[in-house]
């Protein structure tokens, strides 16, 4: 498998996976990614800001993630808890795996690759948020060593569960 930065040529394949994830969340009754987000503009911004990554197997794009280094404005205030650290961190967003590849541990492989990138940059913290009803994502994060830290609110006032992993 290959984990690398995404390019403009990957956008349609990334959007196919994002659409599958949107459909899955909708079928589960989770009100996340149901409002034309993320859209192709979001993904293009990830790529052009060097934040977009993909996982490929046998030349097929099977997973995607955005990894943002720097301050995440939505994470500045946390409620009903606190972050594990106040150090530099990477924020993980928009992680998704193609529906035909679910259950194979590929999202965990994506997270392991993100950890490696962080360590190579001397960053020892990864922060992430997810919808309180997105139980599959919460399970994935906890399985990969992320700890619940509290609640954050996104720019649109959406409530999210905040988790962090120290490396």
For the stretch 122-161, pLDDT in tens is 999 999 999 999 999 999 999 999 999 999 999 999 999 9
> Which tokens belong to 129?
């948020």
Instruction: Determine the Cα–Cα distance for residues 136 and 121; give it in Å rounded to an integer.
Output: 29
Count CB neighbours of 107 within 10 A: 23
Instruction: Determine the Cα–Cα distance for residues 125 and 127; give it in Å rounded to an integer.
Output: 7
> Which tokens belong to 97?
């795996």
- The pLDDT value recorded for residue 43 is 98
In CATH, 2-166 is 3.40.630.30: yes
For the stretch 82-103, pLDDT in tens is 999 999 999 999 999 999 999 9
Is the Cβ–Cβ distance between 133 and 30 less than 8 Å?
yes
Instruction: Determine the Cα–Cα distance for residues 152 and 79; give it in Å rounded to an integer.
Output: 6
In residues, how long is the chain?
167
In the chain, what are the domain boundaries? 2-166
Range list of H helices, the chain: 11-27, 40-48, 106-120, 135-143
User: What is the DSSP code (8-state) at residue 163?
Assistant: E
Instruction: Determine the Cα–Cα distance for residues 44 and 79; give it in Å rounded to an integer.
Output: 31
> Which tokens belong to 78?
């946390």
């Amino acid at each position: 498998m290959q984990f690398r930065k995404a390019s403009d040529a990957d956008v349609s394949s990334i959007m196919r996976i994002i659409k599958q994830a949107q459909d899955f969340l909708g079928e589960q009754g989770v009100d996340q990614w149901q409002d034309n987000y993320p859209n192709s503009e979001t993904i293009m911004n990830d790529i052009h800001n060097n934040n977009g990554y993909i996982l490929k197997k046998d030349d097929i794009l099977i997973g995607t993630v955005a990894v943002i280094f720097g301050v995440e404005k939505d994470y500045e205030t946390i409620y009903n808890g606190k972050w594990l650290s106040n150090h530099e961190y990477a924020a993980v967003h928009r992680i998704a795996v193609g529906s035909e590849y679910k259950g194979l541990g590929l999202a965990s492989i994506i997270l392991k690759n993100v950890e490696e990138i962080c360590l190579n940059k001397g960053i020892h913290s990864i922060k992430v948020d997810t919808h309180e009803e997105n139980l599959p994502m919460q399970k994935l994060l906890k399985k990969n060593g992320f700890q619940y830290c509290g609640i954050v609110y996104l720019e649109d006032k959406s409530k999210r569960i905040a988790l962090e992993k120290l490396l």
